[in-house]
Amino acid sequence: MKLSEERLKKYRNLRRDFKEDRYINLNPIQRGGVLTAEAREALAEFGDGYSTCDWCPAKTPRLDKVTRPPIADFVEDLAEFLGMDVARVVTRCREAQFIAFRMLGRPGDVVVIDSLAHYSTYVAAELAMMKIKEVPNSGYPEFRVDLDAYAAKIEEVKRETGKLPAVVVLTHVDYLYGNLNDARRVAEIAHEYEVPFLLNAAYTAGVMPIDGRELGADIITGSGHKSWAASASTGVLALTKEMAKRVLAPSQIVGDLTGRKFSIKEYALLGCTVMGGPLISMMASFPHVVERVERWPEEVENARWLVEQLERIEGTRQLGVRPKDHTLIHMESEGLYEVSRHHKRRGFFLYEELRDRGIVGIQPGLTKHFKLNTYGLSRERIEKVAEAFLEIAEKYGLSISK
Ligand SMILES: *Cc1c(COP(=O)(O)O)cnc(C)c1O
């Protein structure tokens, strides 16, 4: 079927409607994924189809064995950087979670997760045909996950199913409140029961220092497009040696007619995963990422400073654990909400006022609760953000404390 020019036109000139440097983008999911100049260049260079596969070794034909470009080195360096033994680049953090669940459990098994886990943790378990058991959090206003309750939840699973859970998952920093959890504590509990511990580091690995060995993680999952200055789709699956044996098991299938075998392929990865531009973008940004995690204390300082400024606005406060230990911030503002109730643009006024001041990324329509992320922004730009908010609040008659 030949498609009409009318239908193809919309693909002819695909462009983003804003450029990173013209606007300040506060969208929580965008900050850690902004490409380095090196990644941007490499992306264009490796944009062609199977561009990373020219020198795939004939004897061990697998993506992570390719030495030119240095993919084999990269997966080793990636594992070392995270304090793990083995690493693979997969399509997304959610895929890394799915692969771990699928390989460590059987249909009907239970995964114990924190109640602030990302939806992708739930659906990854669902696709692996497993059930979930949630660990509660303290609710408003801190939403602190009750880490000690992991033990009771593991016991509950044992009582209800006669089996231990297949995996215990902790979201290192959750996407809702940006709370940083003590992974060590959950690792200890999981290991008391000899259950593998998966740390979902989508919002931490690649932006802050992570040492899986020190944290007691058996598996770390991460997101390249969220936190590694890489293009979508890229994810990280990092494992201890013991876990790698189970999760990266070789294919054993045999063609019934031909006797064909593919024992070099890791079957949970379907052989090879992310090739071409996205993988190379992650590799090109890696030196920058290795360096930037060392600047994490300044990043947290910046986030705390902005919270302090925003809380000067009448009826406005930060939700989640205080003070911030991460750059993802969830604000609650009765003040801005009150303004929206009388504004002709309703909740959209805040988005529009910010946009007029060169700031985007606050979800259009939200005023009472909104999220933002200061990661990677210079202090100067964060000051501009604070100024904009205070100016808008003042314009609509909200009081600003000293
Ligand atoms: C964003 C996010 C994900 C999803 O990451 P993908 O790489 O897009 O799959 C998973 N978990 C958490 C906690 C996240 O914040």
Q: How far, in Å, CA of 311 to CA of 322, rounded?
A: 13
Structural fold of domain 37-292: Aspartate Aminotransferase; domain 2 (3.40.640)
> Is 218 within 8 Å of 198 (Cβ atoms)?
yes
> Is 134 within 8 Å of 168 (Cβ atoms)?
no
Enumerate residues 6+ apart whose C-beta is below 8 A from 53. Answer: 63, 66, 275
Q: Looking at ligand 1, which atom is closest to the CA of residue 172?
A: 13
DSSP structure string for 251-271? P--B-TTT--B-TTSBGGGTS
The reply to whether 37-292 shares the fold of 5-34+295-395 is: no
pLDDT reported for residue 211 = 98
Confidence of residue 212 (pLDDT cuts 50, 70, 90): very high
DSSP β-ladder status, 328-333 and 235-239: unpaired
pLDDT reported for residue 10 = 83
Structure tokens belonging to residue 59: 């004897």
Structure tokens belonging to residue 399: 């009081």
Per residue in 164-188, pLDDT tens?
999 999 999 999 999 999 999 999 9
Q: Worst-scoring range by mean pLDDT, 4-18, 217-231, 310-324?
A: 4-18
Q: Looking at ligand 1, which residue's alpha carbon is closest to its atom 15? A: 175
* 218 vs 6, higher pLDDT: 218
pLDDT reported for residue 22 = 81
pLDDT reported for residue 20 = 58
Phi then psi for residue 353, to 5 deg, are -65, -40
pLDDT reported for residue 341 = 96
Domain boundaries, the chain: 5-34+295-395, 37-292
Confidence of residue 12 (pLDDT cuts 50, 70, 90): confident
DSSP helix/strand/coil, 68: coil
DSSP β-ladder status, 219-223 and 235-239: antiparallel
The CATH classification number of 5-34+295-395 equals 3.90.1150.10
Structure tokens belonging to residue 131: 């059930």
pLDDT reported for residue 278 = 98
The residue to which tokens 């020019």 are assigned: 5
Average pLDDT over residues 265-279: 97
Which sign, positive or negative, has the C-alpha torsion 272, 127, 105, 279?
positive
Average pLDDT over residues 355-379: 97
Q: Indicate if ligand 1 lies below 6 Å from the C-beta of 370.
A: no
Q: Where are the alpha helices (DSSP H) in 212-317?
A: 212-215, 224-227, 241-247, 276-292, 296-310
208 C-alpha vs ligand 1 centroid, how far in Å? 16
Q: Indicate if ligand 1 lies below 6 Å from the C-beta of 172.
A: no
Which pTM does this prediction carry? 0.96
Q: Indicate if ligand 1 lies below 6 Å from the C-beta of 231.
A: no
178 C-alpha vs ligand 1 centroid, how far in Å? 13
